[in-house]
Structure 1
């Protein structure tokens, strides 16, 4: 297998290098950021041209014979003749086009018009017509067409999987030239391979049977890499399986490539949609057997907020976002909930979904917040099956930690009510040369190990099993009684006079208030609020001042200071008032009695404290790293000293050499 992978990798490099050399020949009339707009549609065109080559004579002969048939029958007949879900009725192919350089531009237009409508849409999304006009205007059209005509992209030479890799590498190159984010468009193939094998690992027996019909969906399809790998994997397992692949993406170029790939595979082109999944779900009436997704990491959803909030408010749990919405700075959990909404009902067979997320959805947001509510809803409904921690530096556009979530509503008996965490963070091999932020990759052995841990469902060093409730908690609000003393010190009196409420008083009232405060004296300390208020009112009357409620409150606040030896301040009903400055919160494990927790963890350190039950919130977090933390003892000081001495000796020796 390794030799085959090496050969495939070598072939990929050669194909991409060939195409990118064509792109480099555009330098001058085209900016590097524009290279992708030329080579991507031309690569698709050459691939389609090669795929249709074997049946082209039959299609042309059929086209002549069916001119009198209705349009729909013509399309069906031509599709049958081509042996694919698309066709081209033009007498041209790329080879014949370059034989007539003089009429190349018009002949290219005729050739493109000869494609079936599902393919013409692909080139419309590329805005290929504009590109061809510019190439012709800059005298580059013939040179580019001629070079692409020489490329051997026939399926016998380049498989669908290999062609997908070529597309993705070209996108990566193009985005590097234009400073865009390659990771928005595709996922490393070995990560997809892991996700796919995890998705099907527990269903191998069912998927191997004859007559199996399944559907797979990717709401962030990009160039279709996930769908392609899943398709390839299942067809190797069961050549007779009937698969329907569905995908949606908001990027025109990625959509065009994905659609081209699906057309070549014989998939229904209506199953690949263009648009923003969060605001215009193209398959709102469909459910799927399996789902895969790699949504953008840490990308805000401000542009979609109005639509998402509207759906959340109006539809609640009848829509996609019933549990809540995450912080607007990261919309990844919206795609997670969207995937869950695409699950079949358990009585209809249920579904299993895999999604790649960064670390934030595991723990961000406190109890009662959007992210926490979403996690709790997933756990309450027993939808989280497994979470796998991946190595860092796995993706092309980010080096952050990433995690694969496996979600399902059809857990096996021993998995019900349980969540499995798998630590794969150290399972990788280093790349010889980094690709963007990607420095590491999963080997086949790494993938096999993780899949085996998942299927085995056992506690161990790299796999841990938890109950759903282990990730739930309650956040309680701990209140401590308000205890203050009051004293008319110079500093406190100045604070009273500078307060906004006092600044609004008339000059005469402000002077009367100062006189009243002076009457209190600077030496007396009151440790009871009732006694202080009596003294303050007496002083105000003596100064011919009637204290307003606002002034009384201001004086009480500014002359007061925390004092543990003072009496407890109480409200009109005699209940202790809380000291907001000392207010605190504690997270109590779900299965622990709150009163017992308070007696053990709070009261020994804060006598007299109490819990405000009205502020208690329920939450959920999955502290992945904590469960796999391994303490590493520091090196002995003697060893560190020896190393420092050795380094200093080396430095001194170098300095001596320099001085000589």
Structure 2
């Protein structure tokens, strides 16, 4: 094998053995755990004999807790007490299944937990029944996955490629499991960019990194590698939580092999089962699933928001149920260290929706308002499309911190990097583009320099806020008693309800009969008012209406009067303004409009300039004014392209016509 990049294809060739006995969608259930097992076994092999000798020695000394001692021998946070390794297991073909299960059970709890989340014993038994176990074990015994042969970084790539293949076979989205490494590298650059030269190179520093949707652990691995490059003496502690069992198992195995504490990788949903409830972190990175609904955890999230408010994770607001992206961001912000402890920096990948979805005072807008007014949003980077495995849509990296540098305070930087990419030689799913090292360096430079350029725009926080102002116009109605309008009255619910009853039996029949009589009496009074007289003043018509009903002795309740006025009226711009009991103009709900007024602009100056000249009778209902925040990223980088002159277009059309004529002539002549 020429290089480690060929290894995933070689490992996946095991699928040839499984074909027929396994569905394609189940191949990964065998290949992934066997790959992890082979890696764990290769790591432990050099110290295998020492561990077995130490076990015998400790037993004679009656030592109960063997784990710390054996882990010191292996140099990792796990060990295996079985006499077997992969090669010796294959040598005993007749007892392979039983010995392999015993070997799995001989792992220390951390490593056994990994195999349990794969459901590995179930697959061993299934392979044994299909007479495939020995052949599969032979395949993996021939693969050398020792760290001297395959580094931890390379192993990460192998796991990710296997996951991608598994996702393709099972019609899952690979992007739910991992993020392209070059994107992670960019995110890592962005969160460390402000600290690299003075803080991260200090001797003996300890830093924590967290990902609440860690997948196979790519974010954690790349950020750990970055810090090691900057400062080999730095101590990095990584933490993560993952919902997918296979991804969790791979991530935990990866952390075991890197010497990280496996207890710092938790299984479960970060929203309903926060594995780090009381923890805070120096740095955080995440690529949560795009547009995934949070209905499964709705009760827990709403309960926390209602009970704890701003003392919990979701007090700022709840987004629409169909997209939980901003819940992840709120969750991460709740894990920020206080500024007195040097604060935190984080980066998260979103699609375009969190930039602008939701109107003023909606959950999404209130979350953006909370973030921006707390001055936590440092920068947003617009990425090229077709960069991720599971989607071709445009994506954005949000960079947030509670310890902005002095020059960034009160400011937000937008970076347009949609043009910085290179085409891949071979696409992977929806991923057809990738960021080169030069692209990453250019984006990092623009962020670090914090200067206004064609591709870097700097704004005040208030530039993204607006007031949603409700503009009212007066209600103007005319009134006429006519056949058409009387017919409309009989469709009004309040009028129809007169002849209904909730009572049963005779009492109900009596009530319905009385109601119908009242309906007939009302219509008789209105028939007597029939005329061609068009009233353009509601107060005047109401007086005439009440006088007619009083004279006839027919009782007119408020709901029925309202129904009559609704049925006998039509909007009329020439009519008088309808007024309420206090003499104020009554607004027309159908003419109601709204205007978004930037926070930096006076509402009434805007109103006089943009509204009054067109609707002179309009006014602002101040009780309905709401504050909202949105980030129209694309608008700020839009470049107008003027249309071509007509003479140029005309020449192009003539040229095309000549080409078509020439082709037709050639066709007719058979040339």
Q: How high is the TM-score relative to the length of structure 1?
A: 0.95
In 2, Cα distance between the equivalents of 1:70 and 1:495?
96
Q: Which residue of 2 aligns with 1:592?
A: 601
Tell me the number of residue pairs that the alignment of Structure 1 and Structure 2 aligns: 652
The partner residue of 2:23 within 17, 31, 34 is 31
RMSD of equivalent CA atoms: 1.8
Bigger shift: 528-537 or 33-42?
Answer: 528-537
2:236 match: secondary structure: strand
**CA offsets per residue over residues 596-639 of structure 1, 9 Å max, x none?**
22222222222232222211111111111111111111233333
SS at match of 1:209: coil
User: How many Å apart are 1:238 and its aligned residue?
Assistant: 1.1
Which residue of 2 is the match for residue 373 of structure 1?
Answer: 366
Write the distance in 2 (CA, Å) between the matches of 1:489 and 1:319.
61
Paired with 2:542 and 2:293, the residues of 1 have a C-alpha distance of 53
**2:376 match:** 383
In structure 2, the CA distance between the partners of 1:364 and 1:203, relative to structure 1 (3 Å rule), is same
Gaps (5+ residues) in structure 1? 1-6
Matched, 1:577 2:569: no
Partner Cα distance (1:70, 1:349) in 2: 48
Aligned twin of 2:171: 179
The 3-state SS of whatever aligns with 2:18 is: coil
Would the alpha carbon gap of residues 72 and 486 (structure 1) be closer, same or farther in structure 2, given more than 3 Å must change? farther
User: Is 1:190 paired with 2:199?
Assistant: no
State the Cα distance separating 1:525 from its structure 2 match.
Answer: 1.2
3-state SS of paired residue (2:91): coil
* Pair 1:478–1:353, CA change in 2 (3 A): same
- Tell me, in whole angstroms, the C-alpha distance in 1 between the residues paired with 2:134 and 2:80: 21
Q: Tell whether 2:389 aligns with 1:424.
A: no
Task: Find the partner of 1:521 among 521, 530, 554.
Answer: 530
Measured in 2, the distance between the counterparts of 1:469 and 1:12 equals: 51
Cα separation, 2, equivalents of 1:116 and 1:638:
80
| 3-state SS in 2 of match to 1:112 | helix
CA distance in structure 2 between the aligned counterparts of 1:636 and 1:152, rounded to whole angstroms? 66
Q: Pairwise mapping of residues 608-647 of structure 1 onto structure 2 (< 5 A)? A: 608-647=617-656
Instruction: Please identify, of 77-86 and 622-631, the stretch whose mean Cα deviation from structure 2 is larger.
Output: 77-86
Cα separation, 1, equivalents of 2:184 and 2:550: 81
State the distance in 2 between where 1:436 and 1:99 align. Answer: 40
Contact kept in structure 1, 2:11 and 2:31, CA below 8 Å: yes
| CA distance in structure 2 between the aligned counterparts of 1:497 and 1:458, rounded to whole angstroms | 69
Question: Measured at CA, do residues 348 and 72 of structure 1 come closer, stay the same or move farther in structure 2, by a change above 3 Å?
Answer: farther
- Is structure 2 residue 611 aligned with structure 1 residue 602? yes
Aligned to 1:17: 9
Aligned in 2, Cα 1:507/1:111: closer, same or farther, shift over 3 Å?
A: closer
Report SS of the residue matched to 2:288: coil
Residue by residue, what CA displacement relative to the aligned partner does 1:107-137 show, whole Å, maximum 9, x if unpaired? 2123223322110111011010011111111
Aligned position for 1:509: 518
What SS class does the counterpart of residue 304 from structure 1 fall into? helix
Per the TM alignment, residue 321 of structure 1 is displaced from its structure 2 partner at its CA by 0.7
Separation in 1 of the partners of 2:552 and 2:76? Answer: 100
Give the direction of change, closer, same or farther, for the CA distance of 1:595–1:68 in structure 2 (3 Å limit).
Answer: farther
Q: Is the 8 A contact 1:86 1:115 kept in 2?
A: yes
1:234 aligns with 227
Change (3 A) 1:49 1:513: same
| Aligned counterparts, 1:259-658, within 5 A | 259-505=252-498, 506-541=515-550, 545-654=554-663
Which segment is superposed worse, 535-544 or 354-363? Answer: 535-544
Which of 99, 118, 137 aligns to 1:107? It is 99
**Are the counterparts in 2 of residues 488 and 559 from structure 1 also a CA contact under 8 Å?**
yes
In structure 1, the partner of 2:147 is 155
CA offsets 1:297-354 (integer angstroms, 9 cap, x no match):
0000001000000000101111111101110100010000010001000001100011
- CA deviation string 1:429-482 (max 9, x = no partner): 112222111121111111111000000001111111111111111111111111
User: 1:658 Cα shift?
Assistant: 5.5
Task: Tell me the equivalent position of 2:501.
Answer: none
- Structure 1 SS opposite 2:196: helix
CA shift for structure 1 position 648:
4.5
Pick which of 108-117 and 427-436 moved more. 108-117
SS at match of 1:406: strand
Deviation digits for residues 11-61 of structure 1 (CA, Å, limit 9, x no counterpart): 344111101111222101111111000000010011111222222232222
Task: Report the Cα distance in structure 2 between the residues aligned to 1:253 and 1:161, rounded to whole angstroms.
Answer: 19
8 A contact 1:512–1:544 mirrored in 2: no
Match for residue 39 of structure 2 among 47, 64, 68: 47
Partner of 2:87: 95
Q: Secondary structure at the match of 1:207?
A: coil
Pairing partner for 1:144 from 136, 149, 155: 136
User: CA 1:571 to 1:87, structure 2 compared with 1: closer, same or farther past 3 Å?
Assistant: same
For the 8 Å contact 2:4–2:150, the answer to whether it is kept is: no
Q: Deviations over 1:271-296 (max 9, x none)?
A: 00001000010111110000011111
TM normalised by structure 2 equals 0.94
Greater shift, 513-522 or 225-234, is seen at 513-522
In structure 2, what is the Cα distance between the partners aligned to 1:503 and 1:571?
Answer: 26
Compared CA separation, residues 625 and 515, structure 1 to 2 (3 A): same
| Residue equivalent to 1:3 | none
**In the aligned structure 1, how far is the partner of 2:453 from the partner of 2:469?**
33
Cα separation, partners in 2 of 1:486 and 1:71, compared to 1, 3 Å: farther
In the alignment, the residues of structure 2 paired with residue 445 and residue 579 of structure 1 have an alpha-carbon distance, to the nearest angstrom, of 59
Structure 2 CA distance, aligned partners of 1:39 and 1:496? 73
Question: Whole-Å Cα distance in 2 between the matches of residues 249 and 124 of structure 1?
Answer: 15
Q: Distance in 1 between matches of 2:292 and 2:135?
A: 40
1:164 alignment partner in structure 2:
156
Unaligned regions of 5+ residues in structure 2, if any? 499-514
| Counterpart in the other structure of 1:243 | 236
